[in-house]
Structure 1
Amino acid sequence: MSEIIIYTDGAARGNPGPGGYGVVLLSGKYRRELAEGYRCTTNNRMELLAVIVALEALRIEGSKVTIYSDSKYVVDAVEKGWVFNWQRKQFKGKKNPDLWQRFLKIYPKHSVKFVWVKGHNELPENERCDELAVAASHNSNLKVDSVYEASQKQLL
């Protein structure tokens, strides 16, 4: 089986604000693009959701996956092991526990390596993910990030 290469990006117009994610999956000659927009969310939520959706789209467990992301939040949380400490402490005081828990359900099903890339550095697939994420945030039928919106209502 060939290695699966994934590029991801998230965007939010305002933070919080309308947002979206973009994903490019590559394996041999295979290419798939994914994107979705949300009416009120944050950039970090979209960065993480892009990774989750990409991993959930993989049909064969045990795949060797390299994920390229410009999100230090996501890359460092996984590569430096922070998320596993957060999990042990039940995400107390951490943002986005719903998404991190979803990530931790899919992550062990594959052999995943993260690579941080500088955003807007003219890397074609990273730029494409940014285009997808921004375009998704402008869709007329934006989804509801219900967990995030509920958490914001509790703060009011």
Structure 2
Amino acid sequence: MIEVYTDGASSGNPGKSGAGVYMKANGNIYEYAIPLGVRSNHEAEFQAVIEALKICQEHFPDEILSFRSDSRIVVDTVEKDFTKNKTFLPLLEEIKKESNSFPYFFIKWISESHNKHADELARKAIRI
């Protein structure tokens, strides 16, 4: 099982944004700071999950994925497979599409204090 921590950050809302992805896999740690351009903070949070799924497809195909995010909006939207927000809908659809290639995909809400690595990477991505 691959543990994946994601976070999105924006400097302004919307503003310059970044995604942070921190992974624990097979006894190793992987860190990614991904610039996202101009987005809202919530869009950056969704995009961080999408970017992490793409990384997993490339490096860990067919693995069980356990995602963690401190964004209640992202976690609730993915768990319920529903949003009324027209901006979030295509992001949800992309998460569903990307996660379908894995045998199991779980996402769980965690507090910000348990997501510091991904937060630092997201903030670093804004500065890249």
Q: What TM-score, normalized to structure 2?
A: 0.87
Instruction: Answer yes or no: is 1:115 the counterpart of 2:115.
Output: no
Query: Aligned-pair distance for 1:60?
Result: 4.0
What are the residue-to-residue correspondences of 1:2-17 with 2, within 5 Å? Answer: 3-17=1-15
**Structure 1 pair 78–100 and aligned structure 2 pair: CA distance change class (3 A):** closer
**Structure 2 CA distance, aligned partners of 1:53 and 1:137?**
15
Which residue in the other structure is 1:62 paired with? 62
Name structure 1 gaps, 5 residues minimum: 87-92, 140-156
Which residue in the other structure is 1:80 paired with? 80
- 1:46-88: per-residue Cα shift (whole Å, max 9, x none)? 11111111111123433211101001111001112325xx7xx
SS at match of 2:12: coil
1:133 to 122, 125, 128: 122
Aligned residues: 125
2:20 to 19, 22, 47: 22
**Structure 1 pair 38–57 and aligned structure 2 pair: CA distance change class (3 A):** closer
For the Cα contact (< 8 Å) 2:77–2:92, is it kept in 1? no
- 1:94-115: per-residue Cα shift (whole Å, max 9, x none)? 1134433322221111111111
**Structure 2 CA distance, aligned partners of 1:80 and 1:39?**
28
Compare the two structures and name the one with the higher strand fraction. 2
SS at match of 1:12: strand
Counterpart AA for 2:93: Q
CA RMSD of aligned residues (A): 1.7
Name structure 2 gaps, 5 residues minimum: none
Structure number with larger C-alpha Rg: 1
**Structure 1 pair 134–103 and aligned structure 2 pair: CA distance change class (3 A):** same
Report the identity percentage: 33
